[in-house]
Amino acid sequence: MTKSTEVFNPQEFSDMKGILARYDEPASAILPLLHYVQGVYGHLSEEALTFVAEFIGVPHVRTFEVATYYTLLFTEPVGRHLVQVCRNLSCHVNGSEDILQALKSKLDIDVGATTSDGTFTLVEVECIGACDHAPAIMVDGDLHRSVTVDSVGMILDSYREKT
């Protein structure tokens, strides 16, 4: 079994035990634990996924399946700011492809890539719950509604200034 100290410091391990204690069934803690680990390390390393699987007593493959299923979980490092572009119907018919092209052009990266300075990662996602103000994008946890090609640069600049 992977030792917690090989992967997490004592405070992190304590936090994880606290999360686990909230659930009657250890396997039910899989998403909160993965979310916690990603919050601390920015992504889910192979070692972390292996440890979480052993920690809650599920096969290793289970944490890998969950981590690769959800678009908000990352098994590789991502940029400091995550730009998610909705590609579902409302956004699509309201110009999300133009927004995506503008973002790709401004960031000089393709979908799934991270800028060379590590500032932005660009991904496409399914509906983010702002269909009535499509096209919508989400940067980190912030929802941007009724985005236009002209507003893309301003949105990116507001995050460039943040650490």
Instruction: Say whether residue 73 binds ligand FES (CB under 6 A).
Output: no
C-beta of 37 vs 86, nearer to ligand FES: 86
CB of 132 to ligand FES, least distance (A): 8
User: Least distance to ligand FES from the beta carbon of 131, Å?
Assistant: 3
123 sits in which H/E element: strand 120-125
Member of 130, 147, 152, 155 binding ligand FES (CB under 6 A): 130
d(CA 32, CA 37): 9
Residue 131 found at the interface with ligand FES (CB under 6 A): yes
Least distance from ligand FES to the Cβ atom of residue 83, Å:
14
What is the C-alpha to C-alpha distance for residues 146 and 33, in angstroms, rounded to an integer?
34
**86, β-bridge pairs:** 125
- SS3 annotation, 31-82: HHHHHHHHHHHCCCCHHHHHHHHHHHCCCHHHHHHHHHHCCCCCCCCCCCEE
- Minimum Å gap between C-beta 134 and ligand FES is 5
95 touches ligand FES (CB under 6 A): no
Q: With CB under 6 A, what is the number of residues at the site for ligand FES? A: 12
In contact, 78 and 39? CB cutoff 8 Å: no
- Tell me which stretch binds ligand FES (CB under 6 A): 11-19, 36-44, 66-74, 124-132: 124-132
**How far is residue 98's CA from residue 147's CA, in Å, rounded to a whole number?**
10
Is 53 within 8 Å of 60 (Cβ atoms)?
A: yes
Q: Which stretch binds ligand FES (CB under 6 A): 73-81, 83-91, 97-105, 111-119?
A: 83-91
Q: What is the contact surface with ligand FES in residues (CB under 6 A)? A: 86, 88-91, 127-131, 134, 136
